[in-house]
Chain A
Amino acid sequence: MAFIEIRNLFKRYKKVTAVNRIRLEVKKGELLTLLGPSGCGKTTTLRCIAGLEKPEEGDIIIDGKPMISGGFVPPSKRGIGMMFQNYAVWPHMKVYSNIVYGLRLQNISRQSIKEKAKDVLELVGLQGLDDRYPGQLSGGQQQRVALARALIRNPKVLLLDEPLSNLDAKLREKMRFEIKSLVKRMGITSVYVTHDQAEAMVISDRIVVMEKGNIVQIGSPREIYEKPASRFVADFIGAMNFIPGEVVSVLPGSDEVYVRTEFSDKLLCRSAGVDVTTPGQKVYASIRPEDVEVFSEPPAGENLFKGVIANKAYLGNFLFLFVNINGTTIRVQAPHQLPQEEGHEIVLSLNPQKCIVLPE
C-alpha cells in the first residue's frame, strides 16, 4: 500500500513545464530518491509534496489523505519534516530553540519537550551544543541541527532536498550512511532529492530518475545501473560506451540480440528488458568501461576485437584506456598490470552478458 501517492502532478513556471503529469508511489518506510540533472523537476516535485508549491493539476495523497483535491493543505498542516539544501537553520535562535521550534506549538509539557530534544540531539550526535548559536557551528553541525529539527516531531514523511550538497566530500560520504541508518531505524517514509548519482546509489531503496519533468525510470540502484531504460539513464548513472549500430537478428526464446556496428557484423548483446526486437532498428550496443576485458592474446569466446591503445591513464586503483577498434573508440577500465603502452595492439572482450542494447 502506497504511503505517498502522486497522481498526475503537473507544475509549470510561466511557460516552462517543471513537472509533467508524473505518477509515483512511495511505500511506507521506504527511502526513495529523486535523481536527475538540475532542472529535471525533482526539487519541484519534492516542494509539491511539502506544500511549498501548488501544482496546476494532479493530487498528492499522504497516508490516505488528499493534500490538494480535498482543499489545499498548507505545509504547516502536513505533518512533514524537511531538510533544506542550505540547512535553513535560523541564525537568531540557539540550537535548542531551533530544534524545539515546531514542538512548542503543540500541547506538550516543557518537560517532555526537553526530553524529546535530548533524545534527538543524542540521535544526531549534537549533545552539549544546544546552547550555541548556529553561527558558532560548523557546516556539518548545522546540518545535524537541521536533521534534528526535521525529526523531532516524528514526522510521517521526511523530505530531504539535496541536504549534503554544501558539505565537503569526506563529510558528505560519512553523512550519507548516517542519514540512511537513522531514517531506516526510525522507519520514516522519506523522499530524497539529489543530482549526485553516487549518493543516490548509497542511500536509496529505490531511485526515480527524472529528465525534463518526466520520470524516465524507477528501480532499485542495481536495476538502474545494470538495466538502464535509456541512453539518458545509462549516461547519467556511471559511464557507458555507446556503440551505434542496428539490430541484425533476435535469437528466438532468449533476450540475445545480434547487432551490426562499424567494426563488427555480429556483436552479441542482451536486450535487458528493453523492447528492441525488429531487425534493422537503430540501437546503441552499450557496455560499461569496467565490463570490457583486456587480453594480450585472443582467448576463446565471442565479442573479441583487436584494437590499438590510443590513450592510457593511471588512476591509482585502475587504468583507464581509450582503445581504437577500426575507428570506434571504446573506453576501458582495466586492472593496472598491463604491459602494453600507447600505440600497441591489444584484444578487447565485450562481455556478451554485460553488453546491452539501448534504443536510439
Chain B
Amino acid sequence: MARAGSGPPVYGMINEGCDMSRGNNVLSSLLWFVIAFLVIYPLSILIIESLKVSGTAASGIQNYLEFFQDTYYLKTFWNTLVLSTMVLLVATLFGIPLAYILARYRQRGKTIFTALILMPIVLPAYAGVFAFVIFFGKFGTMNLLLMDAGLIDKPLNFIYGLHGLVFIEALHMLPFIVLSLVAGLTSIDPSFEEAAEVEGASGFRRFITVTLPLCTPSYLAGAVMVFLWPFTDWLTPLILGQVDFLPSVAYINIAYHFTDQHRKYMGIVAVVVSSIICITLFLFARWWVEKRKYTGLSKGTTAEGRVIEPSSFVKTGSYLYMFFIAALVLLIPIVLGLSAFSRRWVFEPFPTYWTLDNFRVILMESPGLIKNSFVFSVIALIFGVIFGLPAAYIIVRTRTPGKDALDFMITLMLAFPGIAIGVSYLLAFWEGIPLATHWIIMPLALFSRRLPYFLRIAHASYLQLDVSLEEASEVSGVGKFRTFINISLPLLIKGVLVGVVMFFIMAFQEISTAIFLYRGGWETLPIGIYLNWHRGMEFGISAAMAFLMIVITFILLLIIAKIGGGILKAAWGPGEGR
C-alpha cells in the first residue's frame, strides 16, 4: 500500500459477514431510536418553545431579540461570563502548582493527597455550598473564631457575593484542572524536557517554555468543563443569594413563574442560550485539542513521565500547599458531619448539642427519599448498561454507518446543562407523549443526563482490549456472540463495573434535571436537600441528608478503588472532556 501520508491500516474493525453487519445495522438503528426519542426530540421541542411568542399563536425570534436587548438579561449574561472567567482563572492558578507537585515530585502520602484533592469531583456541588455557608457564613465558625480571638469586631463577608461564588465553584471544579494537567504532565515524553535542559533552559524557564505549552491540549479539555460550569449550575448562586446568572434566572423563571407565559419563554431562551454557549465552547475545545495532540509525537514515553526528588525546602512548601487545599476539601464532610449530628448550631463556633434527631427525622418523615434515590438510580443504571454496552461495541469494533455520529451525540451530552434536559423533558413529555405523568420519567432523565459517563468508561476499556484476543477466538471456531460472552465480557468486566459505579454515583446526586420533573412522592435525596434548605429552618436536616449522600458516595468510591482506578484515568485522559 502507499505509505505516503497515511499510516498503516487500523485492523480490528471486523464487520465482514453480511448477516453480521445487518445485525450491527439493526442494533445501531435501535440505539439511534433511543437517542432520537430521549435527546433529539425533547431538545427540538425546547427550541420550538423558545420561539413561541406569549399570548399569540405565532412564533419567531422575538424572545431572543428581547433577551439580547433587555438590560437585565444582558447583565445576567455578562455576569455569567465574568464568573466563568474568574472561576477558570482561580482554578488554573491554584491547579498548576498542585498538578506539578502531584505529577512530578516523589513524595510520601501522594496517593492520599491526590484522593483528597480530587474528592470534589464526586461530591455534589450543593454539599460544598452548605458546608461553606456553615463555616464561612456571616456568623459561621470562621467569623466567630476570629471575633472570639479579638482579631475582628464585625463579621467578615467571606462568601456572600461574587468572590464567594468564585471561591466555591473554583474549588468544586479544581479536580478537572488538576486531573487534566496531571494527565498532560505525565504523558509528555521526558526527552522533550531533557532536550530543553541540555539547551540550557533550566527550572522555571523550561516549565514556561516547554512543559506548559505541551500540556495545553489536555489542560484545555479540563478547562472547558470548568468554564462551562457557571452556565450549568443554578443552585450555588441561589443558595448564596445571587440570582443574576443565566442558569439561576432560567430556573426561577421556569420553576416559579410557570403561569407567566412570557417569563417562562424568556427562561427557556436563557436555557437555550446557555446550551448553545456550552455546546459551542465544548466543540471548539475538542476541535482544538484534536488538532494539537503533542503526546502522540514520540515513542516510548515512560509510564509516569519525569519524576523529581525535590529539595527539602520545596518539599515542605509543597506539603503545606497540598495540606491547605486538602483541608478546604475536607471541610465539606467535616462541617456537614458536625451539622448532621447536632441541633441548634447557631452563633457557636462548634456545635454544643449532639443528637441523632436529624437522621431520625429523615427516616421518620421521608424514608421514601432514600428509596426513590436508589430505585431511580438503579433503573437509570440498567438502562445505561443496556444502551451503553452495545453502543460501545458499535463505536469501537464495527464500521457501521453513523457510528461516529452516535459517538458524537452521546459525547455532546456531556456539555449539555442539566437544566436544559430537565426543562426540555418537562415540555416534551407533558402533552402528546405524557411520560412526565409517570415516575419512569425520573430514571429516564437520569439515564440521558448521565449516559456519557458509563459510555466513556466502557469505550475506554473496549479500546484497551486488544482486538487479536477476540480474533483468536473466532479463528478457533467460535462465533461472534459467543466470543463476546467468553472473551470480551470477562476482560471488560472491570471497566464495566467501574463505569456502573461511576454512573450510579453521578445519577444518585443529580439534581438539575430532576428538580424540574419530580412530583409529590417522587422526591430524591438531592431534591430533599434543596427543599429542606428552601423551607428554611431545616438546615440541619439538609446537612444530614448531604452527609448521608457523602457517606454513600464514599462507600461506592471504595468499591471503585477496589476494582481499579486506572480505568477512570484511561476514560478521562487527555483529549477527552468529562
**A212 B1 Cβ-Cβ under 8 A:** yes
Question: Roughly how many angstroms separate A16 CA and B469 CA in the complex, as a whole number?
Answer: 26
User: Closest CB of chain B to A43's CB: distance in Å?
Assistant: 8
**A76 B474 Cβ-Cβ under 8 A:** yes
Contacts of B9 in A (CB 8 A): 13, 16, 18, 44
**B478 A105 Cβ-Cβ under 8 A:** yes
**B471 A52 Cβ-Cβ under 8 A:** yes
Contacts of A18 in B (CB 8 A): 1, 9
Contacts of B473 in A (CB 8 A): 90, 101
Kindly list 20 other residue pairs between chains A and B, CB separation below 8 angstroms, not including A54-B16, A74-B479, A91-B491: A12-B1, A16-B6, A39-B1, A50-B471, A52-B16, A53-B11, A53-B16, A72-B18, A75-B474, A76-B474, A76-B476, A79-B477, A80-B475, A84-B471, A86-B466, A101-B478, A102-B476, A105-B476, A146-B472, A149-B476
Contacts of B472 in A (CB 8 A): 82, 84, 88-90, 146, 149
Contacts of B1 in A (CB 8 A): 12-13, 16-19, 39-41, 44, 212-213
**A77 B3 Cβ-Cβ under 8 A:** no
- Interface members, chain A 34-72 (any B CB < 8 Å): 38-41, 43-44, 47, 50-54, 72
Of chain B, the residue at the smallest CB distance from A50 is: B475
Question: Roughly how many angstroms separate A13 CA and B3 CA in the complex, as a whole number?
Answer: 12
Cross-chain pairs A/B with CB under 8 angstroms, 14 sampled = A15-B6, A16-B1, A40-B1, A50-B471, A72-B17, A72-B18, A85-B468, A86-B466, A89-B472, A90-B469, A92-B491, A102-B478, A212-B1, A212-B2
**A75 B471 Cβ-Cβ under 8 A:** yes
User: Closest CB of chain A to B498's CB: distance in Å?
Assistant: 17
Of chain A, the residue at the smallest CB distance from B21 is: A54
Of chain B, the residue at the smallest CB distance from A19 is: B1
Contacts of A40 in B (CB 8 A): 1
Of chain A, the residue at the smallest CB distance from B5 is: A16
Of chain B, the residue at the smallest CB distance from A44 is: B9
- Interface members, chain B 482-506 (any A CB < 8 Å): 482, 486-487, 490-491
Question: Roughly how many angstroms separate A335 CA and B14 CA in the complex, as a whole number?
Answer: 54
Question: Roughly how many angstroms separate A86 CA and B16 CA in the complex, as a whole number?
Answer: 23
Q: Is A153 an interface residue (CB 8 A)?
A: yes
User: Closest CB of chain B to A231's CB: distance in Å?
Assistant: 18
Contacts of A19 in B (CB 8 A): 1
Q: Is A81 an interface residue (CB 8 A)?
A: yes
Q: Is A106 an interface residue (CB 8 A)?
A: yes
> Quick one: which of B16, B474, B475, B482 contacts A72, CB cutoff 8 A?
B16
Contacts of A84 in B (CB 8 A): 468, 471-472
Q: Is B8 an interface residue (CB 8 A)?
A: yes
Contacts of A149 in B (CB 8 A): 472, 476
| A221-258 interface code vs B (CB 8 A; 1 in, 0 out) | 00000000000000000000000000000000000000
Question: Roughly how many angstroms separate A15 CA and B11 CA in the complex, as a whole number?
Answer: 15
**B477 A102 Cβ-Cβ under 8 A:** yes
User: Closest CB of chain A to B463's CB: distance in Å?
Assistant: 15
Of chain B, the residue at the smallest CB distance from A152 is: B476
User: Closest CB of chain B to A217's CB: distance in Å?
Assistant: 18
Question: Roughly how many angstroms separate A81 CA and B472 CA in the complex, as a whole number?
Answer: 9
Q: Tally chain B residues at the interface, Cβ within 8 Å.
A: 31
**B2 A17 Cβ-Cβ under 8 A:** yes
| A1-34 interface code vs B (CB 8 A; 1 in, 0 out) | 0000000000011111111000000000000000
Question: Roughly how many angstroms separate A79 CA and B476 CA in the complex, as a whole number?
Answer: 8
Contacts of B18 in A (CB 8 A): 72
Q: Which of B474, B476, B479, B490 has the most CB of A within 10 A?
A: B476
User: Closest CB of chain B to A60's CB: distance in Å?
Assistant: 12
Q: Is the interface of A mostly helix, strand, loop or mixed?
A: loop
**B478 A76 Cβ-Cβ under 8 A:** yes
Q: Which of B8, B11, B474 has the most CB of A within 10 A?
A: B474
**A101 B468 Cβ-Cβ under 8 A:** no
Using a CB–CB cutoff of 8 Å, the interface residues on chain A facing chain B are 12-19, 38-41, 43-44, 47, 50-54, 72, 74-82, 84-86, 88-92, 101-102, 105-106, 146, 149-150, 153, 159, 212-213
Of chain A, the residue at the smallest CB distance from B18 is: A72
Q: Which of A17, A47, A74, A91 has the most CB of B within 10 A?
A: A74
Q: Which of A15, A54, A78, A88 has the most CB of B within 10 A?
A: A88
Q: Please judge, given known A-B contacts A84-B468, A92-B491, A105-B477, whether A52 and B11 are in contact too, CB under 8 Å.
A: yes
Question: Roughly how many angstroms separate A153 CA and B474 CA in the complex, as a whole number?
Answer: 13
Of chain A, the residue at the smallest CB distance from B493 is: A92
Contacts of A153 in B (CB 8 A): 476-477
Q: What 3 A-B pairs are tightest by C-beta distance, nearest first?
A: A102-B476, A54-B16, A88-B468
Q: Please judge, given known A-B contacts A52-B14, A90-B487, whether A39 and B8 are in contact too, CB under 8 Å.
A: yes
User: Closest CB of chain B to A261's CB: distance in Å?
Assistant: 31
User: Closest CB of chain B to A134's CB: distance in Å?
Assistant: 11
User: Closest CB of chain A to B403's CB: distance in Å?
Assistant: 15
Q: Which of B475, B480, B482, B491 has the most CB of A within 10 A?
A: B475
User: Closest CB of chain B to A159's CB: distance in Å?
Assistant: 8
Contacts of A78 in B (CB 8 A): 475
Contacts of B475 in A (CB 8 A): 50, 52, 75-76, 78, 80-82, 150, 159
Question: Roughly how many angstroms separate A51 CA and B16 CA in the complex, as a whole number?
Answer: 8
Of chain A, the residue at the smallest CB distance from B3 is: A39
Of chain A, the residue at the smallest CB distance from B10 is: A13
Contacts of A88 in B (CB 8 A): 466, 468-469, 471-472
Contacts of A150 in B (CB 8 A): 475
| B1-36 interface code vs A (CB 8 A; 1 in, 0 out) | 111001011110010111010000000000000000
Question: Roughly how many angstroms separate A159 CA and B20 CA in the complex, as a whole number?
Answer: 24
Contacts of B469 in A (CB 8 A): 88, 90
Contacts of B2 in A (CB 8 A): 16-17, 212
**A86 B468 Cβ-Cβ under 8 A:** yes
User: Closest CB of chain A to B311's CB: distance in Å?
Assistant: 40
**B17 A74 Cβ-Cβ under 8 A:** yes
Contacts of B491 in A (CB 8 A): 90-92
Of chain A, the residue at the smallest CB distance from B469 is: A88
Question: Roughly how many angstroms separate A43 CA and B11 CA in the complex, as a whole number?
Answer: 10
Of chain A, the residue at the smallest CB distance from B474 is: A75
Q: Please judge, given known A-B contacts A16-B6, A52-B11, A91-B491, whether A76 and B479 are in contact too, CB under 8 Å.
A: yes
User: Closest CB of chain B to A144's CB: distance in Å?
Assistant: 15
Of chain B, the residue at the smallest CB distance from A99 is: B476
Question: Roughly how many angstroms separate A78 CA and B430 CA in the complex, as a whole number?
Answer: 55
User: Closest CB of chain B to A213's CB: distance in Å?
Assistant: 5
Contacts of B471 in A (CB 8 A): 50, 52, 75, 82, 84, 88
User: Closest CB of chain A to B306's CB: distance in Å?
Assistant: 28
Question: Roughly how many angstroms separate A44 CA and B482 CA in the complex, as a whole number?
Answer: 25
User: Closest CB of chain B to A11's CB: distance in Å?
Assistant: 9
Of chain B, the residue at the smallest CB distance from A15 is: B6
**A101 B476 Cβ-Cβ under 8 A:** yes
Contacts of B17 in A (CB 8 A): 72, 74
Of chain A, the residue at the smallest CB distance from B472 is: A88
User: Closest CB of chain B to A99's CB: distance in Å?
Assistant: 10
Contacts of B20 in A (CB 8 A): 74
Contacts of B477 in A (CB 8 A): 76-77, 79, 102, 105-106, 153
Contacts of B474 in A (CB 8 A): 51-52, 74-76
User: Closest CB of chain B to A89's CB: distance in Å?
Assistant: 8
Question: Roughly how many angstroms separate A139 CA and B514 CA in the complex, as a whole number?
Answer: 53
Question: Roughly how many angstroms separate A52 CA and B16 CA in the complex, as a whole number?
Answer: 7
Of chain B, the residue at the smallest CB distance from A48 is: B16
| B258-277 interface code vs A (CB 8 A; 1 in, 0 out) | 00000000000000000000
Q: Which of B1, B6, B473 has the most CB of A within 10 A?
A: B1
User: Closest CB of chain A to B466's CB: distance in Å?
Assistant: 6
> Quick one: which of A14, A75, A86, A92 contacts B490, CB cutoff 8 A?
A92
Contacts of B16 in A (CB 8 A): 51-54, 72, 74
Question: Roughly how many angstroms separate A38 CA and B7 CA in the complex, as a whole number?
Answer: 10
Of chain B, the residue at the smallest CB distance from A13 is: B9
User: Closest CB of chain A to B392's CB: distance in Å?
Assistant: 19
Question: Roughly how many angstroms separate A53 CA and B469 CA in the complex, as a whole number?
Answer: 16
Question: Roughly how many angstroms separate A150 CA and B479 CA in the complex, as a whole number?
Answer: 17
Contacts of B478 in A (CB 8 A): 76, 101-102, 105
